[in-house]
Structure 1
Amino acid sequence: MKGALLVAGTTSDAGKSVVTAGLCRWLARQGIKVAPFKAQNMSLNSMVTPDGAEIGRAQVTQAQAAGVEPTAHMNPVLLKPGSDRRSQVVVLGRPVAEVDAVEYRAHREPLREVVLASLTALRAEYDVVICEGAGSPAEINLREGDIANMGLARAANLPAIVVGDIDRGGVFAALYGTVGLLSPADQALIAGFVINKFRGAAELLAPGLDQLAALTGRPTYGVLPWQEGLWLDVEDSLGLDGPRIAAQPPHGRQTLRVAVVRPPRISNFTDVDALACEPGVVVRFVTSPGELADADLIVLPGSRATVADLGWLRARGLAAEIVRLAREGRPVLGICGGYQMLATDILDDVESCAGIVTGLGLLPTRVEFEPVKTLRRPVGTAYGEQVHAYEIHHGVAAVEGGEPFLDGCRAGSVWGTTWHGALENDGFRRAFLKDVAEVAGRDFTPAPDVGFAALREARLDVLGDLVERHLDTDAVLRLIERGAPAGLPVVAPGGPLR
C-alpha cells in the first residue's frame, strides 16, 4: 500500500506523538515500510541523527517505533525556545536563525518549500508516512502560513484524524469545536476522531460518540484506554506535569533519591528517564531549595538558556543550596547546560550575549559559547564501560583540573558532562549509581538486569498493541490509502450545514 495520514490534536499533549508512534509500530508489524514526520516541532527535547542532524526527540522515538533510522527529513523544522519571545530555528538539522514570532513570518514561505520537499522525499522512500501535527489545527490566529497542520494537509492532500484527551474533560466540545473552527476546505480533510486516555465504562461513552458522529458526520476511529505506567520520550515540559515513570522497589535495602532541578528552559530532561527505570531510584523534579534536603543525587539537566536559567537558580535560592550541599559532599551531576552552570565562569556572546558570567564554581572548567553548534554522537568509556551518547551545545568547556569523566570532569562529589543519553547505557548507569550511592552513604545496589533499550521497546510494543486492539485499523488503512472520504459535511458552530 501507499499513502499518508495527518494525526492532529485538540491541544498540545493530547496524544498526537503517542498515536503516531503507535501507528508506526503497528504498521511496521504488518510489514509496511513506514516513517514518521513532523513538519514543524517546537521542543527543547531533541536528539542527533546518525548523520549529525538535530531533530525532535519524539520523532527519533517514532522512527524507532517504525524500525527505521531517524533522518532530518522526519522533522525538517525544529523551533527551540530560548525565551518567551525568541526561538532558535533549526532547518534540516542545522540552526539557521534566532527569531521572534514576528520575524518568523519572513521564514514561513521558504520553510514551506523545505517541509514539502522533505515529505515528498519520505513518501518516495516509504510506503506510508504518518505525519504528526503541532498544537491544534484550530489555532485560527496561526492558520495563515501554517505548515504543520491543515496547511500541510491541504498542500499534500492528506487525510487527517483529530485526537482528543478525555482525561482532561470536555473532549466532545474540543473535538466538535476543532472541526467547527476550520474553513470548509480544511474540514474536507478531517475524516474522524480518536479519543485518548479513557478510563471508565465504555457504555457511558457510547451515546456521546453517537451524537458526535451525528453532529459532525464523522466517525470515531477508536477509543484508547488509559494505560498506567505508559511512558515515552516526551516533547516538552508539559510532559513533566503528568505521570512519569513509577518508582520500582529497590534491589538492595535502600532507595536512592534523585532531585532533578527544573529551570524554565529545561531541555533534554529525558536524560533522567533511564534513572527512573532503575528499581529503587526515585526521581522527582524540583524548583525550591527545600526539596533538595533529602536528595542523594542532585541533577542539573540541560538548558536552552544556560545563563538565564543560572540566574533563575540564584533568584530561587537553589544555586546557594546546591553549592552548600556539594561542598558538604552531596553528589551533583551536571549535564550539558547544567554542566556549564557548574563552571567557574561562562563567556556567552552567542546565546544570551551576557558576556562573562560567574558560574557555580563547583568544577574546574571555563565555558565559552561558540557560534557553531556542536552536533555529534560520541562514543567513550567511563567506569570501564562503553558509553554511546549525543551532544547538542554551543557552550564549549575547557577543563582545567579534576578527574576525567566522559568528555567533562569530576571534582569530589561533582560530575559534569556535555553528553546526553549517557545514562541510557546500562553498564555505565549501574556503575555511576553505585559510585553515587557510596559517596552519599546509601545502602543501594543497582539491579543487574535492567535494560533501558528493552524497556523502551516494550513501551513501543504497548503502543502498537493499543492501536491494534482499540482502533478500527481496517478503516485507518483505507483512510491512509484512499484519502479523506468525499462529501464530508461542513460543521458550523450550530451544527452541520446541509
Structure 2
Amino acid sequence: MSGALLVAGTTSDAGKSIVTAGLCRWLARRGVRVAPFKAQNMSLNSMVTSDGAEIGRAQYMQAQAAGVEARAVMNPVLLKPGSDRRSQVVVLGRPVAEVDALEYGAHKERLAGVVQDSLAELRDEFDVVVCEGAGSPAEINLRAGDIVNMGLARAADIPVVVVGDIDRGGVFASLYGTVALLEEADQALVAGFVINKFRGARELLEPGLEQLRALTGRPVLGVLPWRLGLYLDSEDTLALDAPRPGARSPFGRETLRVAVVRFPRISNFTDVDALACEPGVVLRYAASAGDLAEADLVVLPGTRATVSDLAWLRERGMAAEIVRRAEEGRPVFGICGGYQMLAGEIVDDVESGAGRVDGLGLLPARVVFGEAKTLGRPEGRAYGEDVRAYEIHHGVVTVEGGEPFLDGCRHGPVWGTTWHGALENDGFRRAFLGDVARTAGRDFTPAPDVAFQALREATLDALGDLVEEHLDTGAVWRLIEGGAPGGLPVVPPAGAPAI
C-alpha cells in the first residue's frame, strides 16, 4: 500500500508535531513501514542527518518515533528566520537563499515541485507517510501559494485531520472556523478532528463533540488527555512557556539552578532538554538581568542572529551581568551562537552585515562569519567521556588560548562550543555538571542513572500509547488506507469573500 494522512492544526503549537510522532510510533509498532513528512517548516530548531543535511528537529524526532533514519526528503523546505522579515531557505538540507516574505513567493513554484517529488519518493518506499501541516490551513491570505497544508493535500489527494488545543480555550469555534474558511475542494479532504490537551470531566465535553459533528458532518476521532512531560523537540518558541520535563526540586545546596538566556532568535533550545531531565536541576528561561542573579549556571544557547541578539543582551543589562558573574568565578556556558558572543571579536559581513563587533571578551577567541554553512556530526572526548554531537553554523571560531573543550575552549568559569547536542551524552553531561557544581560551590551531584536517550524513547512510547488508547485507530487506519470519504458536507461559509 501507499497510504498517507495529513495532520493539520487550528494554530501553531496545537499539537501537530506530537500527534504526528504518536501516529508514527503507533504504526511502527504494528509493523507498518512509516515515515514522517513536513513539506515546509519554519523553525529555528533543526538537526543534521547522518549524511549532513539540515532538517527540522521535529521531523528528526518523528523519524525516531517511526524507527527509521531521518533524511532530507522528510523536510524538503526549512525556513530559518533571522529577523521579523527575512529567513534563510534550506532546500533538501542545504541553504540556498536569504529572502524576505515577498521574495519567497518567487521560489514557491520550484519548491512545490521539490515538495511533491520528495513526498512521492517517500510514498514509493514506505507503506504510510504521516504528513504534518504548518500553522493553520485556514490562513486564507497564504492559500494561493500553500505547499504544506491544503495545497499539499489537494495535490496528493491526502485526507486531513485537524488538531485543536482545548487547553487554550475556544476549541470548538477554532475547529469549526478552520473548516468553514476553506474552499469546498479543500473541505472535501478534511475528514475529522482531534482534540488535544484535555483535562476535566469527559462527560461535560461529550455534548460539544456531538454538536460539532452535527454542524460539520465530521467526527472527533479522539480526545487526547493532557500529560505533563510530553514536551519534545518543539518547533515553536511558544513551547518555552510550557511546563518543562524533569525534577522541580526546592532550592537548596543540593540543587543546581540553571538560567537559559531566551534570545529573541533563540535556536536549538532542545540543547538544554537533557539538563531539565536531571534530578535536582531547576531550569528557567531568562529575559532580564534579574533572572540571572540566583543562577548557578548561565547558558547562552544558539541563535540565528548572533550580532542582533548580542545587542539585545546588552540593551537589557544582561551582558554586563554575565561579565560580572564570570569575573566573580561563576559558571557561564555558551553553545554555538552563545559561544560566539563570548569571544573577544566578531566579524560578520554575512548574517547581519554589521562588520566588526566587540564580543563579551570572556573567551580568548575570534569569530569570522563565512558564506559557507558548516553542517556536521562531530565526535570527540571531554572529561574522559565520548561525545557525539552536531553542528550548524556560519561563524568560524579561532581559539587563541584557554583549555581545549570539545571544538571550543574553556577559560576559568566560562565554557564554549559550537557543538549542539553534547549534553545528550550521559557521561559527559554528568562530568560537566559536576565540574559546574564545584566551580559554583554547590553540593549538587548528578544522578548516576539518567539515560537521556532512554527517556526520549519512553516519551515516544507514551505518545504511541496516547494514540492507541485515545484515538479511534480503526477510523484513522481507514483514512490512511482509503482516503477521505466521499460526500462530506460543505460547512458554511465556504471559501473566503473577495476583498
TM-score by length of 2: 0.98
Q: Post-superposition shift, 1:46?
A: 0.2
Q: Equivalents in 1 of 2:34, 2:67: separation in Å?
A: 8
**Alpha-carbon deviations, 1:274-315, whole Å to 9, x = none?**
000000000100000011111100000000000000000000
> What is residue 279 of structure 1 aligned with on the other side?
279
> What is residue 52 of structure 2 aligned with on the other side?
52
> What is residue 115 of structure 1 aligned with on the other side?
115
Q: Secondary structure at the residue paired with 2:96? A: strand
Q: Equivalents in 1 of 2:29, 2:110: separation in Å?
A: 36
The letter of the residue matching 2:316 is: R
- Higher mean alpha-carbon deviation, 279-288 vs 231-240, is at 231-240
Q: Post-superposition shift, 1:216?
A: 0.4
Q: Equivalents in 1 of 2:492, 2:315: separation in Å?
A: 50
User: Does 2:293 align with 1:323?
Assistant: no
Q: Equivalents in 1 of 2:229, 2:346: separation in Å?
A: 40
Q: Equivalents in 1 of 2:87, 2:54: separation in Å?
A: 15
8 Å Cα contact 2:159/2:190 also seen in 1: yes
- Higher mean alpha-carbon deviation, 486-495 vs 201-210, is at 486-495
Matches within 5 A, 1:457-496: 457-493=457-493
User: Does 2:144 align with 1:144?
Assistant: yes
> What is residue 213 of structure 1 aligned with on the other side?
213
Q: Equivalents in 2 of 1:66, 1:253: separation in Å?
A: 42
Q: Equivalents in 2 of 1:334, 1:122: separation in Å?
A: 38
Matches within 5 A, 1:442-453: 442-453=442-453
Q: Secondary structure at the residue paired with 2:105? A: helix
> What is residue 166 of structure 2 aligned with on the other side?
166
> What is residue 303 of structure 1 aligned with on the other side?
303
8 Å Cα contact 1:370/1:394 also seen in 2: yes
> What is residue 76 of structure 2 aligned with on the other side?
76
> What is residue 32 of structure 1 aligned with on the other side?
32
8 Å Cα contact 2:246/2:279 also seen in 1: no
Matches within 5 A, 1:26-425: 26-249=26-249, 254-425=254-425
Q: Equivalents in 2 of 1:12, 1:266: separation in Å?
A: 17
8 Å Cα contact 2:228/2:245 also seen in 1: no
Q: Equivalents in 2 of 1:487, 1:241: separation in Å?
A: 41
**Alpha-carbon deviations, 1:144-194, whole Å to 9, x = none?**
110000000000000000000000000000000000000000000000100
The letter of the residue matching 1:178 is: T
Q: Equivalents in 1 of 2:373, 2:33: separation in Å?
A: 33
Q: Post-superposition shift, 1:231?
A: 1.9
8 Å Cα contact 1:177/1:493 also seen in 2: no
Structure 1 stretches of 4+ with a deviation exceeding 3 A read none
> Residues 191 and 327 of structure 1: is their aligned pair in 2 closer, same or farther, counting only changes over 3 Å?
same
Cα root mean square deviation, aligned: 1.3
Q: Post-superposition shift, 1:230?
A: 1.8
The letter of the residue matching 1:274 is: A
Q: Secondary structure at the residue paired with 2:298? A: strand
The letter of the residue matching 1:58 is: A
8 Å Cα contact 1:346/1:356 also seen in 2: yes
Q: Equivalents in 2 of 1:491, 1:291: separation in Å?
A: 49
**Alpha-carbon deviations, 1:387-431, whole Å to 9, x = none?**
000000000100000000000000000000000000000000000
Q: Equivalents in 1 of 2:417, 2:73: separation in Å?
A: 29
8 Å Cα contact 2:246/2:278 also seen in 1: no
8 Å Cα contact 1:248/1:277 also seen in 2: no
8 Å Cα contact 1:259/1:299 also seen in 2: yes
> What is residue 20 of structure 1 aligned with on the other side?
20
Q: Secondary structure at the residue paired with 2:410? A: strand
Q: Post-superposition shift, 1:246?
A: 4.0
8 Å Cα contact 2:167/2:198 also seen in 1: yes
Q: Secondary structure at the residue paired with 2:62? A: helix
Q: Equivalents in 1 of 2:302, 2:63: separation in Å?
A: 23
8 Å Cα contact 1:5/1:130 also seen in 2: yes
**Alpha-carbon deviations, 1:189-222, whole Å to 9, x = none?**
0001000000011111111110100110001100
8 Å Cα contact 1:364/1:401 also seen in 2: yes
Q: Equivalents in 2 of 1:153, 1:231: separation in Å?
A: 27
Q: Post-superposition shift, 1:249?
A: 4.5
Q: Equivalents in 1 of 2:229, 2:389: separation in Å?
A: 26
The letter of the residue matching 2:210 is: D
TM-score by length of 1: 0.98
Unaligned 5+ residue runs, structure 2? Answer: none
8 Å Cα contact 1:158/1:483 also seen in 2: yes
The letter of the residue matching 2:411 is: A
How many residue pairs are counted as aligned between the two chains? 495
**Alpha-carbon deviations, 1:223-243, whole Å to 9, x = none?**
000112222111121110111
Q: Post-superposition shift, 1:494?
A: 9.5
8 Å Cα contact 1:27/1:66 also seen in 2: yes
The letter of the residue matching 1:6 is: L
Q: Equivalents in 2 of 1:469, 1:204: separation in Å?
A: 20
Q: Equivalents in 1 of 2:320, 2:450: separation in Å?
A: 35
Q: Equivalents in 2 of 1:71, 1:323: separation in Å?
A: 41
Q: Equivalents in 2 of 1:471, 1:130: separation in Å?
A: 15
Q: Post-superposition shift, 1:253?
A: 6.0
Q: Equivalents in 1 of 2:204, 2:18: separation in Å?
A: 25
> What is residue 433 of structure 1 aligned with on the other side?
433
**Alpha-carbon deviations, 1:307-336, whole Å to 9, x = none?**
000000000000011001111101000000
Q: Equivalents in 2 of 1:219, 1:475: separation in Å?
A: 10
**Alpha-carbon deviations, 1:31-55, whole Å to 9, x = none?**
0000000000000000000000000
8 Å Cα contact 1:248/1:278 also seen in 2: no
The letter of the residue matching 1:377 is: R
